[in-house]
Amino acid sequence: MPKRHLTDPVDLLREHGMQVTVQRLAVLRAVSQRPHLTADDIEKMVRTEIGTVSRQAVYDTLAVLTANGLIRRIQPAHSPARFEDRVDDNHHHVVCRQCGRVADVDCAVGSAPCLEPAHRHGFVIDEAEVMYWGLCPDCQIAR
Calculate Rg over the CA atoms of the chain.
17
**Residue 13 phi, psi (nearest 5):** -65, -45
Contact between 67 and a copy of itself by CB under 8 A: the answer reads no
Question: Residue 49 gets which letter from DSSP?
Answer: H
The smaller minimum CB distance to a copy of itself, of residues 23 and 98, is found at 98
Report, in Å, the least distance between residue 63 CB and DNA: 6
CB of 14 to DNA, least distance (A): 6
Q: Which run of H or E residues covers position 53?
A: none
Going residue by residue from 11 to 40, which x/- string records binding to DNA, judged by CB under 7 A?
A: --xx---xxxxxxx-------------xxx
Is there binding between residue 128 and a copy of itself (CB under 8 A)? yes
Q: How far is CA 139 from CA 20, 60, 70, 94, 105, in A?
A: 41, 34, 32, 14, 18
Binding site for a copy of itself (CB under 8 A): 73-75, 77-78, 81, 92, 94, 96, 103-109, 113-137, 140
